[in-house]
Amino acid sequence: MVTNEKAPSNDTLKRAFNNVDIRKALSLSIDRKTFTQNTLADGSQPALGFVSRDLGQNPKTGTDFAQEAYVKNDPANSGVSYNRKLAQQYWAKGLKELGLNGLSFNLTVDEDDQWDQISQYLQEAWTKNLKGLKVTVKKVPKATRVKDLLGNDFDVILTSWSPDYDPTTFLDMMVTGNSYNFGGWSNSEYDSLMNTVHTTANETERWNDMVKAEKLLMKEQGVIPLYQNATNYLRNTKLTGMVDNAAGGNPGWRGVDLK
């Protein structure tokens, strides 16, 4: 999910979405575990961060990137924790800094059953947990939502990403000036880390800087991850050789046999 820091529908929202306390409050109000288990109930998993699971392993320990970059015991900086009390504290702090008593924005989503579930949950969670917040759900055809996303014509928008290689398939998007950095978040330290990721020949240094970049992105709540989508399908018990890909085409049918 993306908050528009560049050009939302009014200047008040621009100031609000450029306030890290407001962004943290919105994220901390979301109980991702309960949402994926009880609302989606399709095998989807709560996000551990911006980068999804199974996209890379620590070259020394074999630890999955998402697990290594996930901040477990620091809800204020994990980027994906649920903490209602802390959310309300950040919300009050952010509004005070902005000189506001409340906030209203549009949440743009696809006209889709699953996205309707998500938007209803977010609208209820936000307005219940954050005093003075009004959220209007704007349902549009997918083509319109993509057009709005590319044209920076939104306040808050739901979008998704399908990875096609290692963690940088996500992390590169949030570099300043990247055409996929739809919300306009910018951080010079993050940019420097990602520059090293793409220029160093040291595998360990590259890994460590990717982890640092992910943790910084979540600490600053440059984007608000929700969940990692699951795909459900029936499989014949005689089917062998099928590969479940974390990136690219899923599943992989090359080498499949049915006997």
CA distance 234 to 222: 37
Q: What's 214's DSSP letter?
A: H
Confidence of residue 218 (pLDDT cuts 50, 70, 90): very high
Q: What is the pTM of this model?
A: 0.89
For the chain, helix (H) and strand (E) counts, in that order, are: 11, 8
User: What is the residue-wise DSSP string for 120-165?
Assistant: HHHHHHHHHHSTTEEEEEEEE-HHHHHHHHHTT--SEE-------S
pLDDT for the residue numbered 163: 78
When pLDDT is averaged across residues 197-208 and rounded to a whole number, the result is 97
Question: Quick one: which of 192, 214, 164 has its CA closest to 64?
Answer: 214
pLDDT for the residue numbered 222: 98
Q: Which domains does the chain have, with CATH numbers?
A: 2-230 (3.10.105.10)
pLDDT for the residue numbered 161: 84
Note the maximum CA span of the chain: 69
**65-84 pLDDT, tens per residue?**
999 999 999 999 999 999 99
Token readout for 16 is 């609000």
